[in-house]
Structure 1
């Protein structure tokens, strides 16, 4: 079978929802070619007979091979032949042989789909048609006559329990069944779900969907559907007899929390107990938890009506604390209640070990290091203060071999890069502020406060640096899709340790500076030689800055380029003090790793330096040579930065996905700063960005990547990717990446790197290519090849498809999908 076609009232159907009803599909194709089928055909259909005739029955060949390989190796050789043949079959796809039984099942399924969407009088049939001039090839055509659809007319109710009827009448405007719309079975199922949720979240503890039914009248109604909603009373089995009683609204009379329950101590006596706001807490040993902390994580409250939602929220909150194993919540009737409407909630908590130790190890490679080994460990103390707080101490370290000889002080050592770091983090299960935030951030939003301190030190990586950080963060989740994160304080101090190595690291800057110096009147220590690093290179910059330009012998362009090099060196070698606050809004409809269709939107706003600036008149900060105020001997950064990031995935069916991403970010310095700290700027290129350029090799603007590490304070990026299955776990992709970085509203003035007007959007770089991926289920190994399609670094008129070949392609290896 090579093709399926569906016709409804003689018109070809293109709706994928209808086409997906068919049981039998032709062989899958990649760009119109049945790759897996052809791969399957490489297998030998009679492999056993072939091997027997070729090796086992041919005695001379068998003896010769046995003498060379030994009997055991010969048997293994025959076995491997069979296994390889089976692997080809498993990886490929067998020819789809037309099955009339499957066609009949497809007809019935098509009829069912139309019926469930309101066409109750649908008729369907099929025909098998041979393909002309192609022997043993046929297609199947399906013919549908839907008839006239039925629409919903009236809805009446027969609800036996007064309590349920009252709840229904109060919420009937939210019904999924709407008069005047075409019948749809899904709407009736959704209405059944809605009513079940409505009742179980309003006190009807023992309600189940089986009590809901619909009776539809279609006799002589002119294709109108008159529907009756029927909800019966609760069924009670007493011996061999069945009785029915009206449903009642249940309330919670008591909440009992067992804080250290285990199977082993289930029959042991209670040794400690406490009462807090009508909650009863019990412990088989001495109580380890503050009652107010435990009850704050419980949404089931004494005196309130029963709600499924409260149980779900309690499960989620207790699990998020990382203090208890999976909690167990049970409800039992209150024996002291004669009305049979009160419930006792028993919550059994099983503590995790108070102390936990973890280790990790990894091997890496990057554009900075040829080979690296990383290691780390963490020590977690749960419930450290008795209020469900967690304290975590983590350390990390790495050793690596550099790709740049300039990065190492000892050229004879293989491992010439080192990094160590440590972090201390305290997590509180509440918003820690001197004001009450309960009105804005409800406890069902799972609020957390995190306080962390960190230190890291890098050696022989560029300029080397030490970083000190401190963060006060608040995080809360109003819904499953929405996450809010607020860094009230994010303090970072970066200290460069090896600034004299600057021109060894940034060789392009040095080459340009040296070339300018050769054209100047500068007095070299050794005439005819290059500038010596660092003294002579820095001396030439001082010479240009302090000497009148006419005395330097430099043209104006060389003079300005020298100032640009000086400014970049000053920025990249200066220490940074960042005193920032930020807010991040994240909306993500992806529920798990296997979701194929979802959207994700992230917005982030960050500001820095405003608090320090406001205190400048109070503390009278000293000023550096550039006129910037200093705190702790460092000019503090002041800027505003924002990012917008949107990702959307569409499931096209048949193992096909179309994914897009759009990103925009800008960071604007002001006040005490003329530029952005390099840790807060943007870069372009790399395996997760524009894959036709290496990371940091794209931009800014049309400058042509003249520096080793190109970064700027404005970025636009757009990506589109079509993903498809090839065979087995191998996936393919075709992609187009668009984007660039620019400088805007900062100290850079060169026209090539600055975004001045909308016409500069012509400098957007375009990369395109294809990729191959292997899905290991828990992660994806990715290999992408990107080609420079539009290169803004080339002269105008020579930007499109000038280096569109494998010699100039960029090969990317990554883990998981780029977006």
Structure 2
């Protein structure tokens, strides 16, 4: 088998050449797995040689191509005139030419898609060894030794081993600053307090580079406008120092290069003399004269037309202040904030030196975007409730609405569709419709009667958002109308942290067609119908349904009333009685109108450096409180309660609950395009006061392509209950996932994963023991799914296909939960965009 494999992969390897099958770096007797070090090897093996079970797929594809396809076609077909004539008479001249082109094009495709064999090259191996020496030298092993061995066999295969002997490392000792400019020398003691070059640590050239960047950043933010990293130099001495590194830090004077001379002068601190803001700078009006000038808090605002913005709206976005020393940080913050306003194209900041007094004039040039922009979004779609649907969305963006750089977004959507359940031939074909509108006002500051600058300074890019929306649906679910309004603040304390505070979030949902509940939740109806037949409430083959009635499912409602009022043969000790009771409880909750008045806070810390970073963590926390204000107002105003003992506003009992969610994601880079990813999530929503349950929209579900992939969405839980509901939900959730991702070849990636978790009811009105979380013993009902996935990376998104198997199913009997349906027949297949977490 190995011989066959060898012969196959070396199919295109010439005599005397050898295919590299393995590169190994051995460091002081131990094999190195670190990707950073292995990437130093210049001659990589073919893709898949050490992955995908040692099967170099791209090499095999390349080997399928014929290196001399033109000669082969000429010798086997084109040179034989009789064969050519027979083919032409059989296929036609045009089809024959297409066949020849196809053979050539397919051969070229095999070469492009495949990968040519990587042939051992001793010169490249020597260069790799030299690069390894440089790398270990940069990490403090100045006396390292690197040798290599190339093991070649008779099957044209070669394995290369690089042997590294590090020897004793060099340790940092003294750091002596030699600074030419007095102004820099005077502040260096403060800079040196946080130096990255610590005495007693091992030498690392990267620390020296980072220290150069740190010093440069601090000096550039301390007024030294003309300073740059090139003026910082480190000189190290290791001669007869007993493996100690003695360092001199040299910071030179400024060099001014003239046309025919060079001047050396000490660096000096520059201050900002004035700040000029040109508010309508663009190509078309470049020759126009300035007609409008405003001086506001030491800022000069110039406009060639009437000034469109209030002065404060612009100056609040500028961190460059008259009289301050020059700072790169002030410049970058100004650039970022002006971009965040989304009012201008490419804000430009220029500094001009005033030589007579060593000051700078800051000129900020702004080119406003168009005040109005319009967008359209037409769609054609199908779903599980409609055969075809058409929707049209449109949006209008209005910039600088109140001259304070505010943005007003107005959007709307109209949709019609033909339902799959349509059975009335006289009814309109398009019997589904949805209409909605949204208005969003974004204010680039904290809109508040209180001064929040000390708590949320403007460098955090604070903004206020006011959002109002309304939707109406017909023949979708229970049909509903909804109104919502949000007043929120958003700010960024650092590059990694995002905060959002929904000060007020009001959501009102009115269900318009509650009599069609069992037409939507058909599984519940089927359970009722089966129970009614079993106890003789209806005859076999009959239905709890009468299409001659205006509410055809009213017989099902009547059956529920009869069961609960003990007007049937069922008693409270019967399982079927409990089933009917649970169906009624769920129906009441899902058909009730909802009024949610809440406040929430979201915290997110994401330390991912860029999209290529595979060693990072993300932490998210959310806390929400609903109904507190309405409850306090109701208590103070002595509003009467309804029959259920709850306060109502506009004839709707408002929701009252506390909800919190914690989500943590961790990526670990294992090297060689292998990543281990973890996710842990916990969420709970506890009803109290005016509510004994959480609204459906605020509850949790489990399963689906981004959750436990062995169950489809809404299909898992609650707890150990074997629910047949279309949408299983509860108010407490735990979820854990672990996934190892690896490269197969090229843009194709694979994954193996394990998902665990479930949902439960806790501290609400659900009484089903199997669905409730009572104590830690309920953790035995955590469902476990496992499986594998294939992904294709398109660079800008990832197409994902995952297969999940039910490894531990809590809905089964306790003795038969592990691997009961662990097969492809009962697997769940998920298609998703991008990674699940």
Query: Which of the five TM-score ranges fits, normalised by the shorter chain?
Result: over 0.9
1:245-644 matches, cutoff 5 A: 245-334=265-354, 338-339=356-357, 341-362=358-379, 368=385, 372-400=389-417, 402=419, 405=421, 416-518=431-533, 529-532=542-545, 533-545=552-564, 547-548=565-566, 555-644=573-662
- Over 3 Å counting, the alpha-carbon distance change for 1:418 and 1:656 in structure 2 is farther
Partner Cα separation in structure 1 for residue 139 and residue 383 of structure 2:
55
Distance in 2, Cα, partners of 1:260 & 1:31: 62
Select the residue among 69, 86, 98 that pairs with 2:108. Answer: 86
User: Could you tell me how far apart the structure 2 residues matched to 1:810 and 1:465 are?
Assistant: 32
Whether the 8 Å CA contact 1:669–1:676 is kept in 2: the answer is yes
What are the superposed Cα offsets for residues 600-659 of structure 1, whole Å, 9 maximum, x if unpaired? 111000110000000112333343332221111101000011111112223333333222
1:169-184 matches, within 5 Å, as 169-184=189-204
Q: Is the 8 A contact 1:408 1:416 kept in 2?
A: no
Post-superposition CA distance 1:122-155 (Å, at most 9, x none): 2212111135xx6111211212222221111100
TM-score for both structures, normalised by structure 1: 0.95
Superposition deviation, residue 70 in structure 1: 4.2
Aligned partner of residue 155 in structure 1, secondary structure: strand
Aligned equivalents of 2:122, 2:471: Cα separation in 1: 69
Worse-matched range after superposition: 565-574 or 773-782: 773-782
Partner SS for 1:689: coil
Partner of 1:190: 210
Corresponding residue for residue 164 of structure 1: 184
Task: Give CA deviations for 1:180-200 in whole Å, capped at 9, x if unaligned.
Answer: 111000000000000000000
2:96 counterpart (55, 60, 74): 74
Shift of 1:517: 3.2
Matches within 5 A, 1:707-746: 707-746=725-764
Instruction: Quote the Cα distance in structure 2 between the aligned partners of 1:766 and 1:389.
Output: 49
- CA distance in 1: counterparts of 2:425 and 2:248, whole angstroms: 86
- Separation of aligned partners in 2, 1:521 and 1:727: 63
Listed one character per residue, the Cα deviations across residues 482-521 of structure 1 (whole Å, up to 9, x for unaligned) are 1000000110001111111111111221222233334558
Deviates more, 1:252-261 or 1:752-761: 752-761
- Residue 359 of structure 1 deviates from its aligned partner by 1.8
1:412, distance to aligned residue in structure 2 (A): 7.9
- What is the CA-CA distance between 1:289 and the residue it aligns to? 0.4
d(CA) in 2 for partners of 1:766 and 1:298?
53
RMSD: 2.2
Look up the SS of the partner of 1:139 in the other structure: strand
- Contact map agreement 2:533 2:540 (CA 8 A) in 1: no
What's the CA shift for 1:22?
Answer: 1.3
SS at match of 1:752: helix
How many angstroms does 1:367 deviate by? Answer: 5.1
2:810 to 780, 783, 792: 792
Shift of residue 99 of structure 1? Answer: 1.2
**Residue pair 2:481, 2:512 contacting (<8 A) in 1 also:** yes
Change (3 A) 1:593 1:119: closer
CA distance, structure 2, for counterparts of residue 790 and residue 342 of structure 1: 72
Q: Report what 1:25 is aligned to.
A: 44
**Change over 3 Å in CA distance of 1:154–1:365 after alignment to 2:** farther
After superposition, residues 87-166 of structure 1 pair within 5 angstroms as: 87-131=109-153, 135-166=155-186
Contact 1:402–1:415 (CA<8 Å) still a contact in 2? Answer: yes
Deviations 1:174-220 (A, max 9, x none): 10111111100000000000000000001000101110001111111
Unaligned runs of 5+ in 2: 1-19, 546-551
Question: Are the counterparts in 2 of residues 521 and 552 from structure 1 also a CA contact under 8 Å?
Answer: no
Counterpart residue number, 2:16: none
Q: Secondary structure at the match of 1:801?
A: coil
CA contact (8 A) 1:91 1:728 kept: no
Secondary structure of 2:770's counterpart equals coil
Over 3 Å counting, the alpha-carbon distance change for 1:164 and 1:548 in structure 2 is: same
Equivalent in 789, 808, 811 of residue 829 of structure 2 = 811
SS in 2 for 1:84: helix
Figure out how many residues of one structure are paired with residues of the other and give that number: 809
Q: CA, structure 1 residues 775+46, in 2 after alignment: closer, same or farther (shift >3 Å)? A: same
Q: Distance in 1 between matches of 2:636 and 2:319?
A: 47
Gap change, CA 1:370 and 1:681, over 3 Å in 2: farther
Query: Is the CA contact (8 Å cut-off) linking 1:409 and 1:460 kept in structure 2?
Result: no
Distance across 2 between alignment mates of 1:98 and 1:244:
53
Between 719-728 and 681-690, report the one with greater CA deviation.
719-728
Single out whichever of 473-482 and 762-771 deviates more from structure 2: 762-771
Write the deviation string for residues 238-258 of structure 1: whole angstroms up to 9, x where unpaired: 342222111011110100000
Are the counterparts in 2 of residues 408 and 417 from structure 1 also a CA contact under 8 Å? no
The Cα shift of 1:291 comes to 0.3
Q: In 1, distance between residues paired with 2:94 and 2:216?
A: 66
Instruction: Name structure 1 gaps, 5 residues minimum.
Output: none
Q: Check the 8 A contact 2:571/2:577 in 1, yes or no.
A: no
1:4 aligns with 2:23: yes
- With 808-817 and 146-155 compared, the bigger mean Cα shift is at 808-817
* Secondary structure, aligned partner of 2:329: helix
Answer yes or no: is the 8 Å Cα contact 2:596–2:654 preserved in 1: yes
Distance change >3 Å, CA 373–CA 90, structure 1 → 2: farther
Segment drifting more, 190-199 vs 53-62 = 53-62
CA distance in 1, matches of 2:72, 2:432: 58
Q: Cα gap change, 1:663/1:31 in structure 2, threshold over 3 Å: closer, same or farther?
A: farther
CA distance in structure 1 between the partners assigned to 2:694 and 2:345 by the alignment: 45
TM superposition shift of 1:76 = 3.1
Measure, in 1, the Cα distance between the counterparts of 2:437 and 2:448: 26
Q: Matches of 2:791 and 2:753 in 1, distance apart?
A: 13
Q: Does 1:801 align with 2:819?
A: yes
Greater CA drift, 792-801 or 628-637: 792-801
Write the distance in 2 (CA, Å) between the matches of 1:174 and 1:91.
52
